[in-house]
Amino acid sequence: MMTLGELAYWELTSLRVAGGLAAVLLVAGTLVYIHLFKLVSFMQSRLGPMEAGPYGSLQLLAEVGKFLQKEDIFPRKADRFVFAAAPFVVLMSTFLLVVVVPGGPDAWFVDNDLGIYLAMAVSSVSVIGVLMAGWGSANKYSLMGGLRATGQLIAYELPLMLAVVGVVIEAGTMNMQGIVLAQANGSIFGWSGLGNPFLLTQFVGFFVFMIAMQAELTQSPFDMPIAESELVTGYMTEYSGMRFLMFFIGEFATAGVFSAVAAVLFLGGWYVPGLDATSNVFNVIGPLVMLGKVVFLSFLVFWFRFTFPRFREDQLQRLAWKFLIPIALVNIVATGILKVAF
Amino acid sequence: MSAVFAAVSTDAPIFVAQNVFFAVVALLMVGSALKVVTTSNVVHAALWLVLVLAGAAAQFILLGSEFVAVTQVLVYIGAVVVLFLFGVMLTRASMGDDESVAGEKRSMAAVVAGLLLAVMSVALIDSFSDDRVVIDQPQLVTTVADSIFSQYIVPFEAISVLLLAALIGAIVVARRD
Q: What is the DSSP string of A153-179?
A: HHHHHHHHHHHHHHHHHHHT---HHHH
Residues of B in contact with A154 (CB under 8 A): 79, 82-83, 86
B77: nearest CB among A128, A151, A157: A128
Tell me the residues of B at the A interface, defined by beta carbons under 8 Å apart: 43-44, 47, 50, 66-67, 70-71, 73-74, 77-79, 81-83, 85-86, 89-90, 93, 95, 138, 140-141
Residues of A in contact with B52 (CB under 8 A): none
pLDDT for B29 equals: 92
A203's enclosing H/E stretch is helix A203-216
Residues of chain B with pLDDT below 70 are 1-12, 92-104, 136, 177
Residue B130: Cβ within 10 Å count: 8
pLDDT for A98 equals: 86
Lowest mean pLDDT among A103-107, A229-233, A246-250, A257-261: A229-233
Residue A304 structural domain: 71-341
Mean pLDDT in residue range A88-101: 87
Q: Any idea what the Cα angle at residue A62 is, between residues A57 and A68, rounded to 5°?
A: 145
Distances (CA, A) of B79 to A95, A135, A155, B83: 20, 18, 11, 6
Instruction: Give the number of A-B residue pairs with CB atoms closer than 8 Å.
Output: 71
What tens digit of pLDDT does each residue of A143-186 get?
888 888 888 888 888 899 899 998 888 888 888 888 888 888 87
User: For chain A, what is the domain count?
Assistant: 1
pLDDT for A1 equals: 46
Q: What is the third-level CATH fold of B2-97+132-139?
A: Four Helix Bundle (Hemerythrin (Met), subunit A) (1.20.120)
Instruction: State yes or no: pLDDT of A32 exceeds 80.
Output: yes
pLDDT for B123 equals: 92
Residue to test with chain A: of B77, B82, B97, most A Cβ within 10 A: B82
Contact A35, A42 (CB under 8 A): no
CA distance linking residue A237 with residue A225, whole number of Å: 11
Within an 8 Å CB–CB cutoff, is residue A150 touching chain B? yes
Contact A112, A118 (CB under 8 A): yes
CA distance linking residue A110 with residue A99, whole number of Å: 6
Rounded to a whole number, what is the distance in Å from the CA of A54 to chain B's nearest CA? 43
Q: Is residue A216 part of a domain?
A: yes
Percent of chain A with pLDDT over 90: 4
Q: Which ipTM value was assigned to this complex? A: 0.80
Q: Is residue A22 part of a domain?
A: no
Mean pLDDT in residue range A258-270: 88
Q: Say what the pTM is.
A: 0.84
Within an 8 Å CB–CB cutoff, is residue A120 touching chain B? yes
Strands (E), chain B: 8-9, 132-133
pLDDT for B160 equals: 93
Residues of A in contact with B74 (CB under 8 A): 117, 120-121, 124
pLDDT for A59 equals: 84
pLDDT for B2 equals: 40
CA distance linking residue A133 with residue A139, whole number of Å: 10
pLDDT for B163 equals: 93
Lowest mean pLDDT among A6-10, A21-25, A86-90, A207-211: A6-10
Average pLDDT across chain A, whole number = 83
pLDDT for B53 equals: 92
- List CB contacts of A170: < 8 A, sequence separation 6 or more: A182, A196, A198, A201, A202, A335, A339
What tens digit of pLDDT does each residue of B22-65 get?
899 999 999 999 888 888 788 888 889 999 999 999 988 888 88
